[in-house]
Structure formats: C-alpha cells, structure tokens
C-alpha cells in the first residue's frame, strides 16, 4: 500500500512549474516518519553477523595495506639506500 507523502509540496495546476513552495517542518517530519516505517530493520543476530563481517574485512584490508607498505619501504630503501 503506497502512502502519498507529497502533501503541500506537489505541483498544483495553477502554479508555474519552476516555482515550488517550501516544505514546512511538520510536513518534513511526517515524511521522515513515513520513510522510516518502510525500513526493514535488522535483527540482533543479523546486526552481529554484519558487524563481524565488516570487522574481518577491515582487518584483512589493514593486513594487505601494511604488507604492501612494508614491501614498498624495503624496495625504496634498497634502491635509494638507507641506514
């Protein structure tokens, strides 16, 4: 079931197409609440799984970047000499 949240902001037949009325704070709030009702919120189990996946991915990326940094540091020191 679709909810029409356009309210006052919809173009009216007598209004020029380039001119739009500003949205009132009350209408904005109603639109935000209507959009939040459409959100499918994750369960606690899903949230924990998503968090673990993100943390593992970040750790893998940190390891890759650290490894590349160490390799490139050794390469630069080998080419240009270092202490």
User: CA angle 52-55-46, nearest 5°?
Assistant: 25
Report the distance separating Cα 73 and Cα 83, nearest Å.
13
**1-5, 10-14, 23-27, 69-73: which has the highest mean pLDDT?**
69-73
pLDDT over 60 at 8, yes or no:
no
Smallest CA-to-CA distance from 34 within 4, 9, 12, 59 is with 4
Annotated domain spans of the chain: 7-38, 42-83
Query: What's the gap between Cα 81 and its chain centre?
Result: 44
Per-residue confidence at 81, pLDDT binned at 50, 70, 90? confident
Render pLDDT for 23-32 as a digit per residue (tens, 0 to 9): 899 999 999 9
Arithmetic mean of pLDDT, 7-23: 65
Q: What percentage of the chain reaches a pLDDT higher than 90?
A: 69
Contact 23, 8 (CB under 8 A): yes
Residue matched to tokens 């919809």: 10
């Amino acid at each position: 079931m679709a909810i029409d949240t356009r309210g006052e902001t919809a173009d009216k037949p007598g209004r020029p197409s380039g001119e739009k009325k500003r949205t009132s704070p009350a209408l904005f709030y109603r639109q935000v609440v209507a959009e939040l009702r459409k959100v499918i919120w994750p369960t606690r189990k899903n949230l924990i799984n998503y968090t673990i996946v993100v943390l593992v991915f970040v750790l893998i990326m940190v390891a890759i970047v650290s490894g590349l940094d160490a390799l490139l540091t050794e390469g630069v020191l080998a080419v240009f000499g270092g202490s």
